[in-house]
Structure 1
């Protein structure tokens, strides 16, 4: 679905952080990129950073189920995230890995890697550095699973997206080019398994952050969800102006 091109963030949005959390397949990426494009903001996909770390560990032959081994090596790769919502990039040691991090190998390994505290601490530093840089001259939409609760708990706009498991599975299967009933069922089980891992991990679990507005995206189109989030931003701006 097409969106209008980005324009420089208006003064009212400079320094703004929009935190978008939620379950896999709920529309976080499409919504976040759409909101960023519509408002002229930058965009950060924190999930891609965890995937990039996982890709590097697999390439290096590290056992991703050995938390100690992962912790010992996670400080080595140079992971750089581009913040253009219309062309987000992710590189590891200068290599573009945007395609590779969406493959089956990374899909099956990212959860145990993401649960390692040292990985989360390393990437948290990188995420906050990106946010600080981008908010000096504009604002940013940041998506993930712990943005409102850990990465940017002071974000003035926090959103938690969810959707019916079957709807999420249909969307994710379609993204992967599979639409058969068997494929959708397998995708749904994979998503639910990821939810259980993300919600149950000891460090930075998937939760609805305090103050986050919950949006069930099941009955809405992408453009409608983008509009709802943009409306939240406009409401927050109006409150700030009224308090001046």
Structure 2
């Protein structure tokens, strides 16, 4: 018997850049009647804020303090993306290439991660049905989730998808920097390329969007069967 119809449901999805975890997680949340948490957007919002303030990205203490001080708001409606920091709507701005290229300065700061993990856990606790996605959700943020999934894809597929997502505005070098270089930096503090014990892997390399959603829902069904 599946727990998918229970009042409470926590789904954790991790994956590398370009794996499709954000769009797939949103769709899965809609299917399950759940809210959706994009933890990566939280890191991006902090990055926007520290860049806007002129903070030295090599100053680990300053970045950690910026996270602790941050007035960060994030929508958990899968159909209404909204991110604010300090009351400023940064929903579109945090997707700019310059943010993608610098976000690892925040993501690899252990004190900053600890504070954002705390906030993410508060959001999960405040919502009865939620799909949360990122890089350390299955292992750190929600290790007791009802279903834990690593969504992955080949390097070629991830670069192609990110290129399409950006509308061909980036050259090969810029794409590689956004996807592969960032993953290499972030993987120094968290492992999101191999599934931890109890985490199911869904490889979407040869799947289209709808097939990937179906595969993730199948994995969730399998994980939540009593």
Provide TM-score, normalisation by structure 2: 0.92
Corresponding residue number in structure 1 for 2:116: 123
SS in structure 2 of the partner of residue 91 of structure 1: strand
Q: Distance in 2 between matches of 1:190 and 1:58?
A: 17
* Partner of residue 161 from structure 1, selected from 151, 156, 159: 151
Q: 1:125 to 1:144 in 2, by over 3 A?
A: same
Is contact 1:81-1:89 (8 Å) kept?
A: yes
* Partner of residue 199 from structure 1, selected from 187, 203, 217: 187
1:53-82 superposed Cα distances (whole Å, 9 cap, x missing partner): 111111111111221221233211111111
Is contact 2:148-2:198 (8 Å) kept?
A: yes
User: Is it true that 1:148 corresponds to 2:138 in the alignment?
Assistant: yes
Q: Distance in 2 between matches of 1:168 and 1:144?
A: 15
Is contact 1:165-1:188 (8 Å) kept?
A: no
**Structure 1 consecutive aligned stretches of length 4 or more whose deviation exceeds 4 Å:** none
Q: Distance in 1 between matches of 2:101 and 2:36?
A: 25
SS in structure 1 of the partner of residue 19 of structure 2: coil
User: Is it true that 1:222 corresponds to 2:209 in the alignment?
Assistant: yes
Ranges in structure 1 where 5+ consecutive residues have no aligned partner: 1-9
Is contact 1:170-1:184 (8 Å) kept?
A: no
Corresponding residue number in structure 2 for 1:111: 104
The 10-residue stretch of structure 1 (21-30 or 209-218) with the greater mean CA deviation from structure 2? 209-218
Q: Distance in 2 between matches of 1:73 and 1:19?
A: 27
Structure exhibiting the larger radius of gyration computed from Cα positions: 1
- CA RMSD for the aligned pairs? 1.8
Q: Distance in 2 between matches of 1:58 and 1:186?
A: 19
User: Is it true that 1:24 corresponds to 2:14 in the alignment?
Assistant: no
Corresponding residue number in structure 2 for 1:235: 222
Is contact 1:149-1:210 (8 Å) kept?
A: no
Q: Greater RCO between the two (CA within 8 Å, min separation 6)?
A: 2
SS in structure 2 of the partner of residue 113 of structure 1: helix
SS in structure 1 of the partner of residue 69 of structure 2: coil
